[in-house]
Structure 1
Amino acid sequence: MVKLIGFLCVLLLLAGACNTVKHLKEGEYLYGGAVVAVKETPNGQSAKKLVAELEYLLNPQPNKKMFGMFRTKLWAYYLGQRHKRGIRGFIGRRFGQPPVLYNPAIPQNNRTQLENYLFNKGYFEANVQYDSTRKNKVIDLTYQLIPNRQYHYNSVVYQTDTGKLGQIIAKSNSESLLKPGNPYNTEQLQAEQNRISRLLHQQGYFDFTPADITFKADTAQQSGTINLFVNPQMQNNGLPFAPYHINNIFVYPEYSALYAATSDADTVVYDNYHFITSQKVVRPAALANKMLLQQGDLYSQKKFEYTLNHLLQIDLFKFVDIKFKKAQPDSAHLLNAYVYLTPDAQRELQVEAEANTVEGYLGSVFNMTYRNRNWFKGAEAFTFNLGTGIETPFGQTFIHTFEINGQAKVQVPKLIVPFRMGKISKYYIPVTNLSVGYSFARRLQQYSIGLANFNFGYDWRAQKSVQHIFNPAFLNFVQLITADSAFLAQLDENPQQKRSFTNQLIFGSNYTYIYSNPPPEGKYRNYLYFKSNVELTGNLAYLLFKTTDNSSSSPHELLGVPFAQYLRLDADLRRFNYLGSRNKQILVTRLVSGIGIPYGNSAVLPYVKQFFTGGSNDLRAFRLRSLGPGVSQAFDTGTNAGNFDRTGDIKLSANIEYRFSLNTYIKGALFADAGNVWLFKGDEDSKFRWNSFYKQFGVGSGVGLRLDLVFFVIRLDWAFPLRTPTQGWVIQKAQPFAKDWRRDNIVWNLAIGYPF
């Protein structure tokens, strides 16, 4: 009966959506939209592609239809107009769309738009006509297109003189965007103007603009072809353009709109830069090292952009602006540069929180970060992070899991190395990192473990899309502080797990490679993100012991503590596919893999280096570290002793998430996650095997809401398991209306930022 009532309600809604034109006034007609039909397919051109390009230009867009038939948004609008309050008023305001009325100017405006577009694509003889049809107070338009032939370049001639400017252009002809045989294209002509202008800006021609390149097209000699002539122009005064050099450079490190009223500023000259400063909050040397503009150099657009980017990257300033003014007399062809820097807050405090629920547990994470952007007045950034996390059963007052960690980090905006590094992009500032930290974790009736860490390394870019992070030296000290007797008894039954909980020194090197090619702001094209890590530890110490110590004792110790020796590799590949033209729908897929191989002085990976899955950024239908290894049966949940984290030597996981826009700031998501971890050595249930690993994935699915303010994202994900490694598929057991099932299976994840 309930299903029948629901079906009838849907029918009534669709019936009402079919009869929205009854609300139109006398003389008003609803605009039903337009289509483009190509009567004659142009030679060598795809009519389908051409039609798609042209239909995208048509305006206005008609009222949206459901299933291509029902104007439900228009129906909702009229519903809200009749009922301003209550649920019907809300439906009208939230989902309604005002009627798009027909205007007699629409067909001619679109016709002009289509003809102009075709002309700019080389269809000089195109003909566009239109017809209209009226039915039930709805007017539809059809544009009949005869494109005729498309003109192509027969020849492209650069008419340059023998002067320096002409020589620069002539040498770059091989890079020209205009090639014989290419179709005429206005956008391509503009792109060529910009290319030549930018080329000359790198050679000091400050005054030269794209408009100083003109084109002459001759179509008279051969049917359907163009002889194109490219002409650089002279200045308005009839003189040729001349290159400019940099004269004086004035830097204002404390610039603001009220700066002109400040009378106590001093001028400090450092390395030919003139610093006009009163507070001296940053050392002149720190800024001078970040500027590629130098006195006496030719003006260069690239050096200007690099300097601008460097000053923004050191994160000291809210706004950076560089202006050039001609020094007098202009016949000297000199430029004075003025660098205006508006300081940002030197110190900031940031707070983040996350929460999730699963299997009767409530988990929460709190992070606080203090940042000083200019610690030693040399643009060194100091960051201190303090984080805590707790996990407690529902309805209980005791805390099952408690974690706290702190880390202090210093970033110096240069590479501190005694040797020359490889290829480094001049567009980005390389960074030297130094950090120390400590973390403590306590599991009720299980153990307390501490981790002290030190890290020294470098972060740089070889190019815009490639980032390198190399840490030649890192040190971790893992200490099992306390262990309850029940937990120790559990470890005695699992020697593999027991060895991973011993006190250990971990020291070595690691390297991270990141590739990412996201589209520019406002552009929406598919792109990839790839991150890979490799970590090696203990090899030098092990070699030293082997060459100096003939004893067979194992493992070897430093300062009375065994040191770890392993190779650890992991990779994260993501693909972002835009399904719409305006960033409203994105399909994101991710593959994650990892493997850790202990050898030499280690029989197992240290606990802190093992892989795990689950949590708000991984398998969202499962609690953090609650899956695996393999199909190992769940530990005894009747006592806390059996509930220690599940980790492994190998990890495989995959995610797929469909993201869509509900409005400007609210986004929705549908997602599915799968994955697990395995051991190299262990019992048959936990070991990785090629013929069975794919049968041991945990799988979950869910929906999400995101408040996306661009600079800040709050995410709420609701997920539930479809399959567990130990029980197989459990979707058939789902009882979403049963309280007990929801309590044991539904996972709520509240977090900051997107999961990936």
Structure 2
Amino acid sequence: MKGIAVRGIWAKIMLLLLTFVYMGCNTLKKVGDDELLLTKNTIYTDEKAVKDAEIKNLIVQKPNSNLLGYPLRLNLYNLAKEDPDSLFRDWLYKKDKREKRLANLISKKQINALSTSFFVKGWSELLKRIGEPPAIIDTAKTRKSTELLQAYYGSKGYFNNTVDYHIVSGKRKKKAEVEYKVDLGTPFMVDSLATNIVSKQLDSIYREHAELSVVKENQQFDLANFDNERKRLTNLFRNTGVYNFQESSVNFDVIRDTTQAAEDRNMDVILNVRKPRSANDTENTPSNYKIHRFKKINIYADYLFSEGTDSLQSIEFEDYTIFYKDKLRYKPKALTDAIFFKKDSIYRDIDYTRTNRQITNLNTFRYPNIEFIPDSTEARLVSNIYLSPRPKYSLGLNFDLTHSNIQQVGTALSTSVTSRNVFGGAETLNISARGSIGLLSDASLGDGDFTSEIGGDVNITFPRIWFPLNTEKVIPYYMLPQSRLSVGTNFQKNIGLDRQSFNTILSYNWQPTDLLKNTVELLNIEFVRNTDTKDFFRVYNNTYQRLNEIASDDFYQNNTQLDSLYNENGSLTIPDGANDFINAVLEEGVSQSLVDTRDVRSIRERRDRLTENNLIFTSSYTFIKNNKQGTNDLSFYQFRLKLESAGNLLSAVSNIIPYEKNSNNQSLIFGVPFSQYFKTELDYIKHWQTSSTDVLAFRSFFGIAIPYGNSNNIPFVRSYFAGGSNDNRAWNAYELGPGSTSNLNDFNEANLKLALNLEYRFPIVGDIKGALFADAGNIWNVFENQDNEEAIFTGFDSLKDIALGTGFGLRYDFTYFVFRVDTGFKTYNPAEEPTKRWFSDYNFRNAVFNVGINYPF
């Protein structure tokens, strides 16, 4: 019956494809007899095809968009009726008595409303709105494209280029391509570069940095180089004291001697830096550009635009004057550390930018208003910095609905209170509480049908590095340093064994540039306490079934010493029967084979590992480089490196003050063995914009955690898992691996992970997007007390266990977030027999459906 159902699904898919093919035959439905549908644009420069997307975008008229080669939006548009209300009237009056019979069923007024209803008219309007009209070749737009191409290549120095176009008819009637032919000619060159800078000070600055000029002698003319040189000089002058320099003051004279032969393509260039546009001397405008230094810097704390400044009090702190009302609520140093202007120093644009960023980073003030007043008699500046405070307190409230492979549906409510400027140094205190309740997908996962969680955190953020030693020289304030101290606790019910956790973090982060971010967690202390360990074999049902299979053998069933371990169904009781059976096999030697002993030992190790409490005392460093420029940048990369070390400080202390030991010779703190391991992660993401709307996204991840010293394995909460909506989408979370094992445990995890993801993203209709993806990867055990060879990474040979999932997804863009549904198929499953690994479960019945928010990478 399952085979019949699968065939039925594929029959429906084939019917849908045939419908699309039929629709594809109607792409010319709305193309007139004297019109041509544009199918392709091609640009040739000196007989070579152009592949540069920037140049292709100069073409004004483009072919209809397509979805994997199929013109979906065009065919949707073609399905719309041109005059649906007239067609309705024709149908209504086609038979004499049709209108009368219809009026007997509904009123005449309703008949009129029916002619403008969605089913008659609205449907066609919707198809036109989400569809796309046929791209009929328009020679006016084609000529406009030739003009743009000619102007573009002219800007590259090909002043004498010519552009023509040809319409090439396709194999089918009413279809054609347009070919643009560009004859470049000989490019013009910059022969000499002279300067005409009216200000001696600016001329001196220019010559100090002349080697960085973008425009050079013996260089092909390129208008982009002149634009970049204008921007470079503006940035240079505004960062060497010329606070009011205008980019419009920079221009170029390009001279060619017309008396020379026509073949001469050399040009002379003169760089001009002129006076400001307002060249007349006024009180606030000098006659020429000068280097300005700061005479006085005023900081207006708690400034309100509706109030004047006459009634304010002031204090002098170092080289700053701080104005305030009634009482100064901020430590002066907290304010001045955020200001990068110094008395008697020259003006620099970069200091202006850094001041804005650091004041915003304080999270105490709104975006600042910075004013510069030039002195009328000398090149001196007075800077007024107006700081408008944010509210002292703010309240946040969030409500979420969630779904996962563990929960059918979950609701979460969280609230937070934020207090700013807690100690007068622009510190931010955040106190948050959260609670959730969810309906379990499988009641066997917990004690009942519901899961619950409650927790809270106290966070305080300092806008500086909070450390006994002075770090300002190493991490200056323009790097936006922050320190964060966090204390939190969490109580989970019906997730695994019920868990309580306590966490304390002291971390620092700073940004040397816009591309780089560093984070150091000096201390991350986490204590995890499992509160319902007696339910291990009920919660982890797969592990119990493996143990029960061993215990169901006649050898054990007929052993009278073990009778008390079984229930009336012949299964081990939970928890006493299962635990006593393990002890009988491993401690009392009641076993019929070495295989049984090995398997039972593996089960005991997993039970002990997942039921023991954990004390995790780590330090870590994370480096992130991201060159994305704004939300509209579709071509970028991100690299993340994380190094983490656990237990070394506690281990060093144990050499001085010996700890209590357990039976496994592990050192204990408050009766709990502390974890000791080293962990490293490498994560690389790259996006390529393949067209104006399409993106190819790639991600690679490698992570390994190596236990040593006081640990034989990695704590469950710090191990790796595979599968899920952000990983390999053909498997549910925790189902894949380790290695070639087949869903060995209820929650499969390991200490080595490799993941590779490739996704092609494209628009479908309006805000609906599509994706095709391929996810590869797996997890393995390495350097742990694991004896299952199928789960252990032994070298390059283990790479054959990399699982491959492929599939497709739909996304809806809500602007602020993206809602997505992905369907993954097991393409290569390492858990199957070698001859059945490829496409054995490649069907919708075994597909995995993932729901997620935003893109997975």
**TM-score bin, normalised by smaller chain:** 0.7 to 0.9
Q: Which residue number in structure 2 is paired with residue 690 of structure 1?
A: 795
Indicate how the Cα distance of structure 1 residues 475 and 300 shifts in structure 2: closer, same or farther if over 3 A, else same: same
Q: 664-673 or 564-573, which moves further after superposition? A: 664-673
1:266 maps to a residue whose letter is L
Cα deviation for residue 286 of structure 1 reads 3.4
Aligned counterpart for 1:204 among listed residues 217, 220, 241 = 241
2:294–2:383 CA contact under 8 A, matched in 1: yes
Check the 8 A contact 2:660/2:668 in 1, yes or no: no
Structure 2 partner of 1:58: 59
CA contact (8 A) 1:17 1:72 kept: no
In the alignment, structure 1 residue 669 sits paired with structure 2 residue 782: no
Q: Secondary structure at the match of 1:455?
A: strand
1:502 to 585, 593, 612: 612
**TM-score, normalised by the number of residues in structure 1:** 0.83
The residue number in structure 2 matching 1:290 is 338
Deviation at 1:140, TM superposition (A): 7.4
In 1, the alpha carbon distance for the partners of 2:716 and 2:68 equals 54
SS at match of 2:127: helix
Which amino acid is 1:571 matched to?
L
Equivalent residue runs for 1:325-724 within 5 Å? 325-327=373-375, 329=376, 331-339=378-386, 341=388, 343=390, 346-351=393-398, 353=400, 355-358=402-405, 362=408, 364=410, 366=412, 368=414, 370=416, 372=418, 374=420, 376=422, 378-383=425-430, 384=432, 386=434, 388=436, 390=438, 392-393=440-441, 398-399=448-449, 401-421=451-471, 423-424=474-475, 427-443=478-494, 447-484=497-534, 487=537, 492=582, 493=600, 494-500=603-609, 501-520=611-630, 522-525=632-635, 527-546=636-655, 549=658, 554-580=665-691, 582=692, 584-632=693-741, 634=743, 644-662=746-764, 665-679=767-781, 680-684=784-788, 685-690=790-795, 692-722=797-827, 724=829
Residue number in structure 2 paired with 1:173: 210
Please say if 1:755 is aligned against 2:856: yes
Q: Which runs of 5+ in 1 are unaligned?
A: 42-46, 636-642
Deviations 1:430-456 (A, max 9, x none): 110111122333447x62332211111
Contact 1:621 1:721 in 2 (8 A): yes
The aligned amino acid for 1:381 is: T
Other structure's SS at 1:227 match? strand
Query: Counterpart of 1:300?
Result: 348
CA distance in 2, matches of 1:277, 1:77: 69
Relative to structure 2, which stretch is displaced further, 81-90 or 648-657?
A: 81-90
* Distance in 1 (alpha carbons) for counterparts of 2:329 and 2:134: 58
Q: What is the CA deviation profile of residues 311-339 of structure 1, one whole-angstrom value per residue up to 9, with x for unaligned ones? A: 23334455444343434x25454344454
**1:640 counterpart residue number:** none
> What does residue 270 of structure 2 align with?
229
Query: What residue is the counterpart of 2:94 in the other structure?
Result: none
Amino acid paired to 1:675: G
Distance 1:424 1:248 in 2: 27
- On the 8 A contact 2:680/2:705 being kept in 1, the answer is yes
Identity %: 22
List aligned pairs for 1:230-269, cutoff 5 A: 230-235=271-276, 236-237=279-280, 239-251=287-299, 259-260=305-306, 266-269=312-315
Query: 1:676-730 CA deviation, whole Å, 9 max, x = no partner?
Result: 3332322223322225533434444443333434443434434454455533648
Change (3 A) 1:390 1:264: farther
Displacement, 1:560?
Answer: 3.1
**Cα gap change, 1:2 to 1:293, in 2 (>3 Å):** closer
Structure 2 gap ranges (5+): 1-10, 86-117, 282-286, 538-574, 583-599
Q: Structure 1 or 2: larger strand share?
A: 1
Tell me, what secondary structure is at the counterpart of 2:219? Answer: coil
2:826–2:842 CA contact under 8 A, matched in 1: no
Rate the CA distance shift 1:551–1:333 in 2: closer, same or farther, 3 A: closer
In 1, Cα distance between equivalents of 2:168 and 2:75: 21
1-structure distance, mates of 2:18, 2:491: 60
Distance 1:335 1:120, change over 3 A: farther
Name the CA distance, whole Å, in 2 between partners of 1:495 and 1:721: 32
Q: How many residue pairs get matched?
A: 725
- Per-residue CA deviations over 1:436-492 (Å, capped at 9, x if unaligned) read 122333447x62332211111211123332222112222222223231266367675
Deviates more, 1:505-514 or 1:2-11: 2-11
Supply the RMSD in Å over aligned alpha carbons: 4.0
Change over 3 Å in CA distance of 1:365–1:509 after alignment to 2: farther
Letter in 2 for 1:307: T
1:732 to 822, 828, 840: 840
Aligned counterparts of 2:165 and 2:303: Cα–Cα separation in 1: 58
Counterpart of 1:114? 149
Residue identity opposite 1:732 in structure 2 = S
Shift of 1:189: 0.7
Give me the whole-angstrom Cα distance separating, in 2, the residues matched to 1:65 and 1:550: 69
Matches of 2:67 and 2:708 in 1, distance apart?
62
- How far off is 1:419 after superposition? 2.7
8 Å Cα contact 1:352-1:752 kept in structure 2:
no
Residues 1:18 and 2:18 are matched in the alignment: no
**Could you tell me how far 1:305 is from its partner in structure 2?**
1.0
* Rg larger for: 2
Q: 1:687 to 1:5 in 2, by over 3 A?
A: closer
Q: Does 1:218 align with 2:259?
A: no
Alpha-carbon distance in 2 for matches of 1:538, 1:51: 54
Kindly tell me: are residues 495 and 296 of structure 1, through their superposed partners in 2, closer, same or farther at Cα, counting changes over 3 Å?
same
Q: 1:730 to 1:341 in 2, by over 3 A?
A: farther
Name the SS of the counterpart of 2:758 in structure 1.
strand
Deviations 1:321-364 (A, max 9, x none): 4343434x254543444546474795242526353354x96254
Specify the code of the residue in structure 1 equivalent to 2:489. Y
Contact between 2:30 and 2:134, CA under 8 Å: does it hold in 1? no
TM-score, normalisation: structure 2: 0.74
Return closer, same or farther for 1:687/1:78 CA change in 2, 3 Å cut-off. Answer: closer
Matched residue SS, 2:215:
coil
Say which SS state the counterpart of residue 17 (structure 1) adopts. coil
Q: In the TM superposition, what is the alpha-carbon distance from 1:17 to its structure 2 partner? A: 1.7
Alpha-carbon deviation of 1:144?
4.3
Cα distance in 1, alignment partners of residues 82 and 489 from structure 2:
61
